[in-house]
Amino acid sequence: MKLVVLISGRGSNLQAILDAGIPVAAVVSNNAAAAGLRVAQERGIPTHVIAHADFASRLEFDRAVQQAIDAYVPDLVALAGYMRILTDAFVHHYTGRLINIHPSLLPSFTGLQTHARALSDGVKIHGCTVHFVTPALDHGPIIIQAAVAVEAADTVETLQQRVLAAEHRIYPQAIRWFFEGRLRIDDSGRVNLSCATASEQSVWVTGG
C-alpha cells in the first residue's frame, strides 16, 4: 500500500504517521518553508514543493499537485495540515482515497480557528476527526474521532496541545484501517469499520 502525504506547515501529523511505522512514499507541500519537509527529508522520503503562487488558477495548481502525487501511484492520499482549498476536480480524482484530519469534532466547527471557537462557545467536549474528503469542506464521511474534555482553565494553546496529541493517535489508526481494507462507505455515506472490536468502535475520550 502506498501513501502520499500533503502538508503546508509543521508536519507533526506526518511525524506521527512515520513514528507509527507507516511507510510514506512521498510528501508534497505548497509551501517551501514547511517544517514538515525536513521531517520527511531526514528519513529519506522524497519531497516535492509546488508553490501555489506560481500558478494562475487553483485548477492549474491542483493539476500540478495531482501530477506529482500520481507519479507515485498511491493507494491513499492523506492531507496533514494542507492549507489549500481543493478544486472539485481534484477531490473527484481521489474519491474514496483522500482523507483529512480536522481539529474539531465534526460536524461542529468546520473551517479555521476551531479551538478558539470551541472555547468561545463553551463546549465541554472538543476533539478531532479523520474523514474522507468530499467537495464540501470538512463534511466527508467520518472514519474516527477522538474527544477531549475542555477544562475551565483552558486557553487556545492548552486545548490545541491536547487535541493535537489526540490527532497523533487517530490519524495513524485511520490509515492502518484503510490499508487493512476495513473501511467501507455505505449507501447512506457513512463509514463502516469491518470486523471492529468493541474497543475500536468506542470514542476515545482523553483527559488532561
User: Distance between alpha carbon 85 and the CA centroid of its chain, in Å?
Assistant: 13
CA nearest 108: which of 122, 94, 118, 98? 118
**CB of residue 108 vs ligand GRF: minimum separation in angstroms?**
14
Interface with ligand GRF (CB under 6 A), residue total 14
By CB under 6 A, is residue 10 in contact with ligand GRF? yes
By CB under 6 A, is residue 167 in contact with ligand GRF? yes
Closest to ligand GRF by CB, 13 or 145: 13
CA–CA separation, 131 and 144 (whole Å): 7
Q: Assess contact for 185 and 162: CB atoms under 8 A.
A: no
Judge whether 102 counts as a catalytic residue: yes
Closest to ligand GRF by CB, 41 or 67: 41
Residue from 3, 6, 13, 65 in contact with ligand GRF (CB under 6 A):
13
CA nearest 99: which of 171, 29, 19, 26? 171
CA–CA separation, 190 and 51 (whole Å): 34
By CB under 6 A, is residue 18 in contact with ligand GRF? no
**CB of residue 107 vs ligand GRF: minimum separation in angstroms?**
15
Torsion from C-alpha of 43, 44, 48, 51, nearest 10 degrees: 50
- Positions touching ligand GRF (CB under 6 A) are 7, 9-13, 36, 80-81, 101-103, 164, 167
Residues classed as catalytic: 102
